[in-house]
Amino acid sequence: MLELKQINKVFFEGTPDEKKALNGLNLTLQEGDFVTVIGSNGAGKSTLLNIIAGVLYPDRGSIKIDDKNVTYIPEYKRSKWIGRVFQDPMAGTAPNMTIEENLALALGRSKKRSLLKGVNKGRRHEFKELLSSIDIGLENRLNTKVGLLSGGERQALSLLMATFSKPRILLLDEHTAALDPARAELITKITKDLVEQHQLTTLMVTHRMDQAIELGNRLVMMDAGQIIFEAHEEEKKKLTVEGLIQEFQNIRGSRFVSDRTVLTS
Ligand SMILES: Nc1ncnc2c1ncn2[C@@H]1O[C@H](COP(=O)(O)OP(=O)(O)OP(=O)(O)O)[C@@H](O)[C@H]1O
Ligand SMILES: [Mg+2]
């Protein structure tokens, strides 16, 4: 349902600062795939997600979603198919709006304008139920400004907003990295539950190798703008953190380097 072919993305081409962020990258996702993405610093992980979301256009190559060529379709038009959660808890929600206003906004992105008549009673009930499902007490704070929530609460809300319209693809870019371990654990659990509940096709960049192994049905390792290693289903279940690091070393002949990667849990 998602197909990336021969994607190239170069920043500052032809200057001394030239950076090949993506270099002939190929990736195909099947409906319902949950793919975890790991890689060294600057491997191109965020660029890959930006290319899929339409924040950036590739210099070469093509992107198809459900057999439709979307390579140069702008981000705002693609957003109805794509849910995103970023590393920064401040990025996915509007701080000066209440929880219910944020939810209404997210709903508005996926539905026709005519269906939107503000936050009425029925909708409020729907929002409460939705918030109850993640079980962190947000259902009692519908009128709280989102700017007052903790980072973890904001990420939970962002996840809900990114998923409740059942996007064709969910993109997560280290969305637990800025949280303390307990909150990161909680957000990981909520992610797992939401992805399972809606059967979402998901691409999740994580700096936690153990998490990349544990979650999802496929794992890809990126380096220098390419996918250098992939594991599916049974093969993925057998992976270990040490094994992955060794794999990187075997392929690249150098050590896996990332400032944020947690090698053990
Ligand atoms: N907007 C941009 N302008 C210029 N260079 C960029 C831009 N975005 C990314 N790059 C460069 O492209 C390369 C890939 O960056 P990217 O952010 O995709 O890596 P990443 O795998 O997400 O790394 P990290 O683990 O540090 O988040 C890097 O060398 C980076 O400096
Ligand atoms: Mg990144």
Pocket around ligand 1 at a 6 A CB cut-off = 11, 19, 21, 39, 41-47, 258
CA-closest candidate to residue 199, choices 219, 170, 160, 162: 170
Residue 44 alpha carbon, nearest atom of ligand 1: 18
Q: In sequence order, what DSSP letters do the residues of 137-181 get, joined into one string?
A: SGGG-TTSBGGGS-HHHHHHHHHHHHHTT--SEEEEESTTTTS-H
**176 phi and psi, to 5 degrees?**
-110, 0
pLDDT of residue 111: 63
Who contacts 5 (Cβ-Cβ below 8 Å, separation ≥6)? 26, 61, 62, 63
Supply the DSSP symbol for 98: B
Intra-chain end-to-end CA distance of the chain, in Å? 33
User: What sign results for the dihedral spanned by CA atoms 78, 35, 221, 207?
Assistant: positive
Nearest CA to ligand 1 atom 31: 42
pLDDT of residue 114: 45
pLDDT of residue 72: 95
Contact 238, 54 (CB under 8 A): no
pTM value? 0.92
Nearest CA to ligand 1 atom 18: 44
pLDDT of residue 118: 59
User: What sign results for the dihedral spanned by CA atoms 174, 179, 182, 183?
Assistant: negative
Can you tell me which residue has the tokens 């279940």? 237
Going residue by residue through the chain (265 aa), what tens digit of pLDDT does each one get? 999 999 999 999 999 999 999 999 999 999 999 999 999 889 999 999 999 999 999 999 999 999 999 999 999 999 889 999 998 988 889 999 999 999 988 887 766 554 555 567 778 898 999 899 888 999 999 999 999 999 999 999 999 999 988 899 999 999 999 888 888 999 999 999 999 999 999 999 998 999 999 999 999 999 999 999 999 999 999 999 999 988 888 888 877 776 656 554 4
Q: Which pairs from 147-154 meet CB under 8 Å and 24+ separation?
A: 147/95, 147/96, 149/99, 150/183, 151/89, 151/178, 151/179, 151/183, 152/89, 152/179, 152/180, 152/183, 152/184, 152/186, 152/187, 154/89, 154/90, 154/92, 154/93
Nearest CA to ligand 1 atom 3: 11
Q: How far is the CA of 230 from the centre of ligand 1 (A)?
A: 21
Q: How far is the CA of 123 from the centre of ligand 2 (A)?
A: 36
